[in-house]
Chains A and B, each alone.
Chain A
Amino acid sequence: METPAAFARLELPGHPALQVRAGQTVLEALRGARVNLGQPVIAIVNGQTVDLTYQLQADDVVRLVPQIAGG
Chain B
Amino acid sequence: MTIVGKTLRSQPDAGRRAYTGQILRVNLSTGALWVDRPDDAFYRTHLGGRGVILHYLLSALPAHADPLGPENVLIFAPGPLTGTSLPGSGRHAVGGKSPLTGGLGSSEAGGWWGAELKKAGFDAIVIEGRAAEGPVYLWIKDGAVEIRDARPYWGQLTGPTQAALREELGDCKIRVAQIGPAGENLVRYACVMHDVGRAAGRSGLGAVMGSKHLKAIAVRGTGPVPLADETQMSETLHWILGGYKEMMGWAIARGTEGAVKFSHDTGATGVRNYLDAALPGIEQLDGDNLFSFLVKRRDTCHRCPVQCKPVADYESDTLKIDGQYGGPEYETVGAFGPLCGVNDPLAVVKANELCAAYGLDTISTGGTLAFAMESVEAGDLAGYESLPRFGDGASLIENIHRIARREGLGDLLAEGSARLAERLGPAAQDRLAVARGQEFPLHDPRLKNVLALGYALSPTGADHMHNLNDTFATFPGSDICARLKEMGNTAPLPLFGLAPEKLQALVYETAFKHVLDSALVCHFYPYEYRHIAAALSAAGGWDLTPNEVHAIGLHITNEARRFLLREGFTHADDRLSARAYHKLSSGPIAGKALTPEELETGMQAYFKLMGWDENGVPPQSE
Contacts and interface: CB of A to CB of B under 8 A. Distances in A.
Chain B associates with chain A? yes
Interface of A: 27, 37-42, 44, 47-53, 63, 65-71
Contacts of B265: 44, 63, 65
Nearest to A27: B476
Given A70-B256, A70-B331, A71-B524, A42 B495 contact: yes
Contacts of A42: 266, 471, 474-475, 495
Given A39-B250, A40-B478, A69-B524, A51 B331 contact: no
B246 A49 contact: no
A49 B475 contact: no
Interface in B251-269: 251, 255-256, 258-259, 262-263, 265-267
A71 B197 CA distance: 13
Nearest to B267: A49
Given A41-B475, A42-B471, A49-B447, A67 B588 contact: no
B330 A44 contact: no
B474 A69 contact: no
B588 A52 contact: no
Given A27-B476, A40-B475, A52-B475, A68 B256 contact: yes
Contacts of A47: 587-588
B569 interface: no
Interface of A is mostly: loop
Contacts of B441: 70
A38 B249 contact: yes
Given A38-B249, A47-B588, A67 B330 contact: no
A52 B256 contact: no
Interface residues of B, number: 41
A21 B589 CA distance: 25
The 8 closest A-B pairs by CB, nearest first: A68-B259, A40-B475, A71-B256, A71-B329, A51-B495, A49-B588, A40-B478, A65-B262
B250 A66 contact: yes
A13 to B, nearest CB: 8
Most buried by B among A27, A44, A49: A49
Given A38-B246, A40-B477, A70-B330, A51 B262 contact: no
A64 B267 CA distance: 14
Contacts of A66: 250, 258-259, 262
Contacts of A51: 474, 494-496
Contacts of B523: 69
B325 to A, nearest CB: 16
Nearest to B330: A70
Contacts, number: 91
B492 interface: yes
Contacts of B334: 70
B43 interface: no
Contacts of B259: 66-70
Nearest to A37: B477
A69 B472 CA distance: 9
Contacts of A49: 266-267, 447, 495, 588-589
B494 A69 contact: no
A63 to B, nearest CB: 8
A38 B478 CA distance: 9
A50 B587 CA distance: 12
Nearest to A45: B588
Most buried by B among A39, A49, A52, A68: A68
A67 B472 contact: yes
Given A48-B588, A51-B496, A70-B334, 15 more contacts: A39-B249, A39-B250, A39-B477, A40-B471, A40-B478, A44-B265, A49-B447, A50-B495, A63-B265, A65-B262, A66-B250, A66-B259, A67-B478, A70-B441, A71-B256
B495 A70 contact: no
B262 A68 contact: yes
Nearest to A50: B495
A49 B524 CA distance: 24
Nearest to B592: A49
B249 A67 contact: no
Contacts of B524: 69, 71
Nearest to A31: B476
9 contacts: A42-B474, A44-B265, A51-B474, A51-B495, A52-B495, A68-B250, A69-B250, A71-B329, A71-B330
A45 B619 CA distance: 45
A70 to B, nearest CB: 5
Contacts of B331: 70-71
A27 B492 CA distance: 11
Contacts of B266: 42, 44, 49, 65
Interface in B415-462: 441-443, 447
B37 interface: no
Contacts of A40: 471-472, 474-475, 477-478
B303 interface: no
A6 to B, nearest CB: 24
A47 B472 CA distance: 20
A69 B589 contact: no
Contacts of B443: 70
A65 B262 CA distance: 6
Contacts of A50: 495
B63 interface: no
B464 interface: yes
Contacts of B256: 68-71
Most buried by B among A27, A37, A51, A71: A71
B326 to A, nearest CB: 11
A53 B494 contact: yes
Interface in B296-335: 308, 329-331, 334
A53 B475 CA distance: 10
